[in-house]
């Protein structure tokens, strides 16, 4: 039996120019597949799909922005008589939609469901939907199949997930809708065994919030220290509020953190229920993290109800002033299943139903204090201004940062790459 696992392209016109990291989710699905099945992974972000390649079953994962392409791919295979199973965040949130384009839908995490999918397929009796009755334990997880991906085509394939979920309930986020409200952690010993199995000294921990359980995070960081790895991850800004945690992160090799700052407005933070960011000046927290040698890549949301052009451009100025190593100015996107979508639908403010436009960069709703066009132009201008040469120089070369460190040079290279993309429109 031949199984093809497919990752749809994110932005078709630019896929060859984008740096990609390996598709961890599909690597796990491959690892969950019985060994008697011939499994291959095709990631359309780095290669072309061969629709004429003989396969018995196809699995497709997709987030919202790629779902239209995922449906196209599914249609091509089904025209050839090949059964298609869909999974991932978007099909999990809208299974009734996804089943119109596939033969079966896996709702939620693959563990606990994938075994049944394979068995039912072999018996010729695929059900419409599959899901696990309970959230899968993260103990004794299978290791992802890194052996079947084209590793050299990725920025890195050294990707590890140590936790799933997030304890917060931000109105714009799909994480808790997909993973549930419980924050689950892999045993530290299991994580370290996976670390030891990897070549190279750089790792991406792809957790949504690696330190939501500070006690466990400290245990992990202590265990990482002897291995002398360099790593990056995502965390909440309260990393700065625990001195021991911050010191251990730095000592264990943390080079940088992707942090959701979202807004400098306390009122906006309350509106989106970003409780972890409230009550503490973001600038103080950012500086404290940076003072420990950890680069901060900030994420901001444009289009909140309190936003206008002036407040958003002040956000950009502030991001430059804080010398963030990089910044992402995401347009508020009402993804299926989120509270913000429910709000905007109730207010009649959603103006775009094409899922391909739900890419975090395109305005798909009516903002309160500006037109959709003005918000779109402001988001583009913000990116261009932040990644301008004067901004890059100011953020990377100061009297306190000279001569530049190796870490600074990595950040500089990343900024120059990002600058190449700033003229692209969504």
Tens digits of per-residue pLDDT, 141-175? 999 999 999 888 898 999 999 999 998 889 999 99
Domain ranges across the chain: 2-131, 158-420
Q: Residue 281: how many CB atoms within 10 A of its CB?
A: 10
Q: Which two tokens stand for residue 121?
A: 């397929």
Query: How much is the pLDDT for 423?
Result: 57
Give me the pLDDT at residue 19, please. Answer: 67
Cα dihedral across residues 341, 345, 350, 352: positive or negative: positive
3-state secondary structure of 347: coil
Outline where DSSP puts E strands in 103-241.
104-107, 129-131, 159-160, 163-164, 184-185, 202-205, 230-235
The rounded mean pLDDT for the chain is 93
List pLDDT tens digits, range 221-273: 999 999 999 999 999 999 999 999 999 999 999 999 999 999 988 889 899 98
Say what percent of the chain tops pLDDT 70: 96
- Are 73 and 92 spatial neighbours (Cβ–Cβ below 8 Å)? no
pLDDT (mean) for 113-125:
97
* Distance separating the N- and C-terminal Cα atoms of the chain: 40
pLDDT at 415: 84
Give residue-wise pLDDT tens across range 200-229: 999 999 999 999 999 999 999 999 999 999
Average pLDDT, stretch 172-199? Answer: 94
pLDDT for the residue 406: 78
Query: Is there a common fold for 2-131 and 158-420?
Result: no
Architecture in CATH of 2-131? 3-Layer(aba) Sandwich (3.40)
Cα-flanking dihedrals φ and ψ of residue 297, to 5°?
Answer: -105, 115
Q: Are strands 184-185 and 163-164 parallel, antiparallel or unpaired?
A: antiparallel
Tens of pLDDT, residues 329-356: 999 999 999 999 999 999 999 999 999 9
Q: How much is the pLDDT for 169? A: 87
The count of other CB atoms within 10 Å of the CB of residue 145 is 18
State how far the Cα of 390 lies from the Cα of 248, in Å rounded to an integer: 34
Residues 6+ positions from 259 with CB-CB distance below 8 Å: 234, 235, 236, 237, 239, 286, 289, 296, 297, 298, 299
**Residue 385 reports pLDDT greater than 90:** yes
**Predicted pLDDT of residue 17:** 45
In sequence order, which residues have a C-beta less than 8 Å from that of residue 13 and are 6 or more positions away? none
Report residue 45: phi and psi, to 5°.
-70, -20
| Tally of CB atoms within 10 A around 122 | 14
pLDDT of residue 397: 84
**Band of residue 15 on the pLDDT scale cut at 50, 70, 90:** very low
158-420 CATH pick, 3.20.20.220, 3.80.30.20, 1.10.10.10, 3.30.70.600: 3.80.30.20
Give the model's confidence band at 313: pLDDT under 50 very low, under 70 low, under 90 confident, else very high: very high
Confidence check: pLDDT of 198 > 50: yes
Give pLDDT, residue 391: 93
**Position 16 pLDDT exceeds 80:** no
Instruction: Please state the pTM of the whole predicted model.
Output: 0.93
Q: What angle do CA 308, 312, 316 make, to 5 degrees?
A: 170
pLDDT at residue number 315: 96
Phi, psi of 185 (to 5 degrees): -125, 140
412-419: average pLDDT = 83
- 3 state SS of 353: coil
């Amino acid at each position: 039996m031949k199984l093809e696992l497919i990752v749809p392209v994110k932005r078709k016109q630019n896929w060859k120019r984008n740096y990609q990291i390996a598709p961890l989710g599909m690597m796990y699905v491959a690892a969950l597949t019985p060994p008697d099945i011939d499994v291959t992974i095709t990631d359309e972000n780095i290669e072309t799909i061969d629709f004429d390649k003989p396969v018995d079953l196809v699995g497709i994962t997709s987030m919202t922005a790629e779902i239209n392409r995922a449906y196209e791919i599914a249609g091509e295979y089904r025209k050839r008589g090949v059964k298609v199973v869909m999974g991932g965040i978007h099909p999990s949130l809208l299974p009734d939609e996804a089943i119109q384009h596939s033969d079966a839908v896996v709702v939620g995490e693959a563990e606990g469901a994938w075994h049944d999918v394979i068995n039912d397929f072999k018996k010729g009796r695929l059900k419409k939907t599959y899901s696990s009755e309970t959230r899968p334990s993260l103990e004794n997880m299978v290791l992802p199949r890194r052996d079947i991906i084209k590793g050299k085509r990725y920025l890195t394939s050294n990707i590890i997930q140590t936790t799933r979920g997030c304890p917060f309930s931000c109105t714009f986020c799909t994480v808790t809708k997909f993973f549930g409200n419980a924050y689950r952690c892999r045993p530290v010993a299991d994580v370290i065994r996976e670390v030891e199995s990897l070549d190279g000294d750089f790792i991406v921990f792809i957790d949504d919030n690696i330190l939501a359980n500070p006690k466990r995070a400290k245990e992990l960081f202590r265990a990482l220290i002897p291995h002398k790895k360099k790593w990056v991850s995502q965390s909440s800004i309260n990393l700065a509020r625990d001195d021991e945690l911050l010191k251990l992160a730095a000592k264990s090799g943390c080079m940088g953190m992707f942090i959701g700052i979202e807004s400098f407005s306390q009122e906006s933070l309350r509106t989106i229920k970003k409780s972890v960011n409230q009550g503490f000046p973001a600038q103080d927290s950012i500086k404290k993290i940076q003072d420990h040698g950890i680069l901060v890549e900030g994420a901001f949301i444009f289009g909140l109800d309190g936003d206008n052009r002036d407040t958003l451009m002040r956000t950009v100025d502030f991001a430059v002033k804080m010398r963030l190593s990089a910044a992402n100015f995401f347009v508020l996107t009402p993804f299926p299943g989120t509270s913000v979508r429910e709000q905007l639908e109730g207010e009649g403010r959603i103006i775009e139903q094409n899922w391909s436009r739900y890419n975090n960069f395109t305005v798909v709703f009516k903002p309160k204090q500006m037109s959709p066009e003005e918000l779109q132009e402001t988001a583009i201008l913000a990116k261009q201004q932040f990644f301008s040469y004067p901004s890059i120089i100011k953020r990377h070369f100061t009297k306190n940062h000279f001569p530049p460190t190796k870490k600074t040079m990595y950040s500089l290279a990343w900024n120059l790459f990002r600058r190449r993309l700033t003229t692209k429109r969504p």
